[in-house]
Chain A
């Protein structure tokens, strides 16, 4: 019987940071499309994570998200990023309507000692795929955004992180007494990402 060599999927800190930051880019695009923040026609279909994904063609948003993911990747590699929140607000009143919260746990040993971890790409992809499906299906329970909206991205970092030139300190943009839905999480064995969406309580539900 021929001996088969088992290909080990080794994940490094840099590789994990790249996977997670790329995930944020696709997740943000998916949220913006599914929540109707930008018109349908401004998105183009691509295949990613074994799913048809939609990416914005709006140059401003594209540039914003590219810069965002580059900075997040840098912080992830340094083990300084704790949370990323995509906030959807009313364009007219700036009232926070939804918060897409991605909490990150980083393996400190990997950051400090530079060791690597083992996990297959397929497994990671399956976990991310599950989250993307949940984002797409969120329209079934999230309240309808029937007014023009804008989005913002908040990064929660360690306190010793210097604020980059193109970033400004911000308030957490919280929602008072929100409804919360916990989504799936994914783990690269270096970074574990938990997803949660919180949204404004519908007056109809309260009555």
Chain B
């Protein structure tokens, strides 16, 4: 190769463009100078390409370059204003949806070009914390289930005793037994109600935690329904029916949607 080439040369080789309308690379520095000029002229709506050209006073810069850049800048400013309005309405929230059968939240971020979105690392940290909380909830609920099962066994033994005593004592002591069982049933319904409240409280805690840490709305399934507090044992022709499936008590729903079966005793025939 000839001398005067690239060998041993580490500078810049450039050539003048022949294009009568040469393409201009708007570097950050150049754009800053443009913005300064526009600001001095009273904003993008008041500034004209000629006035910006005069104020910038850069060699090689033409009206052709400034016309298109000013137009883009105006459009950008309008879009930015609209974005700001939208963000004010949404208060720059990101939404976290907890699906019915999943413990992992699907996070979707809302953000604009200016980096308004929550940093991914922070979001992940929040997600991990929420998952930890949910795991804790599951542990608590497992314990509750074990307690319920134990309680169920105890209740079953009590009912068996009651059944035996009823069959032994005959119809004379039916009224006393009925009163006893009514009391027992109301106690049981109170117990189930408390269980439900605990479960609800746990989920509300997670919800509050997530709202605080992430500034988001946390959607979960409705946990439990209204309790039927006036549940009484039905007596039909010499048989007492105990319905321990008090409305709403059979489906304790975890935040992840895992159902807990509290169907322990359905009915006993006397």
Task: For the complex, give the distance between the alpha carbons of A101 and B13 in Å.
Answer: 13
A174 touches B14 (CB 8 A): no
Name which of A156, A169, A171, A196 has the most chain B CB atoms within 10 A of its CB: A156
Judge if A103 is at the interface, Cβ distance under 8 Å.
yes
Contact of B11 among A156, A170, A174 (CB under 8 A): A156
Contact of A64 among B1, B4, B16, B25 (CB under 8 A): B16
Residues of A17-42 whose CB lies within 8 A of B: none
One of B59-67, B79-87, B138-146 at the interface: B59-67
If A82-B11, A155-B13, A156-B12 touch, does A166 touch B22 (CB 8 Å cutoff)? yes
Task: For the complex, give the distance between the alpha carbons of A180 and B17 in Å.
Answer: 27
Kindly list chain A residues whose C-beta atoms are within 8 Å of the C-beta of B9.
82, 156
Name which of B2, B22, B65 has the most chain A CB atoms within 10 A of its CB: B2
Judge if A152 is at the interface, Cβ distance under 8 Å.
yes
If A156-B9, A165-B61, A166-B60 touch, does A174 touch B15 (CB 8 Å cutoff)? no
Chain A nearest CB from B159 CB (Å) reads 91
Task: For the complex, give the distance between the alpha carbons of A189 and B87 in Å.
Answer: 65
Residues 45-57 of chain B, each 1 if its beta carbon lies under 8 Å from chain A, else 0: 0000000000000
B2 touches A99 (CB 8 A): yes
A165 touches B14 (CB 8 A): no
If A164-B59, A166-B22, A166-B60 touch, does A172 touch B4 (CB 8 Å cutoff)? yes
Judge if A154 is at the interface, Cβ distance under 8 Å.
yes
Contact of A168 among B3, B6, B10, B15 (CB under 8 A): B15
A155 touches B14 (CB 8 A): yes
Name which of B9, B13, B24 has the most chain A CB atoms within 10 A of its CB: B13
B61 touches A152 (CB 8 A): no
If A165-B22, A165-B60, A165-B65 touch, does A156 touch B2 (CB 8 Å cutoff)? no
Judge if A58 is at the interface, Cβ distance under 8 Å.
no
Kindly list chain A residues whose C-beta atoms are within 8 Å of the C-beta of B22.
165-166
If A165-B22, A165-B65, A166-B17 touch, does A174 touch B12 (CB 8 Å cutoff)? no
A180 touches B18 (CB 8 A): no
Judge if B119 is at the interface, Cβ distance under 8 Å.
no
A164 touches B60 (CB 8 A): yes
A153 touches B16 (CB 8 A): yes
Kindly list chain B residues whose C-beta atoms are within 8 Å of the C-beta of A99.
2, 4
Judge if B5 is at the interface, Cβ distance under 8 Å.
yes
Task: For the complex, give the distance between the alpha carbons of A67 and B14 in Å.
Answer: 14
Judge if A83 is at the interface, Cβ distance under 8 Å.
yes
B11 touches A175 (CB 8 A): no
Residues of A145-168 whose CB lies within 8 A of B: 152-159, 161, 163-168
A159 touches B13 (CB 8 A): no
If A159-B10, A165-B24 touch, does A153 touch B15 (CB 8 Å cutoff)? yes
Residues of A167-199 whose CB lies within 8 A of B: 167-172, 174-178, 180, 196, 198
Chain B nearest CB from A192 CB (Å) reads 15
Beta-carbon nearest neighbor of B20 in chain A = A60
B11 touches A159 (CB 8 A): yes
Judge if A124 is at the interface, Cβ distance under 8 Å.
no
Task: For the complex, give the distance between the alpha carbons of A174 and B2 in Å.
Answer: 7
B17 touches A169 (CB 8 A): no
Task: For the complex, give the distance between the alpha carbons of A154 and B4 in Å.
Answer: 11
Task: For the complex, give the distance between the alpha carbons of A1 and B65 in Å.
Answer: 67
Kindly list chain B residues whose C-beta atoms are within 8 Å of the C-beta of A111.
none
For the A-B complex with A82-B11, A157-B11 known, give 17 more contacts whose Cβ atoms are closer than 8 Å: A71-B16, A82-B9, A99-B2, A153-B16, A155-B14, A156-B9, A156-B12, A159-B10, A166-B17, A168-B15, A169-B12, A169-B14, A171-B13, A174-B2, A180-B2, A180-B3, A196-B4
* Pairs A-B, 10 closest by C-beta atoms: A165-B60, A170-B15, A101-B4, A178-B2, A167-B14, A166-B60, A174-B5, A172-B5, A198-B2, A159-B11
Q: List 15 A-B contacts (CB under 8 A).
A: A71-B16, A103-B4, A156-B9, A161-B12, A163-B14, A164-B59, A165-B60, A168-B14, A168-B15, A168-B17, A170-B14, A174-B6, A177-B1, A196-B4, A198-B4
